Amino acid sequence: MLFACIETFSREPYLNVILIKSSYQFYLYVCFFVLEVGVYLNVIKVSHWGSL
């Protein structure tokens, strides 16, 4: 999953330029944040449908 994020950044030229200019850790943080939000939303969705 993390490698998918890195792959996406390396594929996109625009993001690649930002990646070079910005810190690598910042993008890792953003990646993990997006994953956390995704998991959180999935848990809400599952618990919501489970309660119906």
Which residues, 6+ apart, have CB-to-CB distance to 8 below 8 Å?
A: 15
Domain that holds residue 35: 2-51
Q: With CA atoms as reference, report the closest residue to 6 among 29, 26, 27.
A: 27
Number of domains in the chain: 1
Q: Specify the pLDDT at position 43.
A: 83
What the block records as the tokens of 47 is: 């618990």
8-29 pLDDT tens trace: 656 666 666 666 666 777 777 8
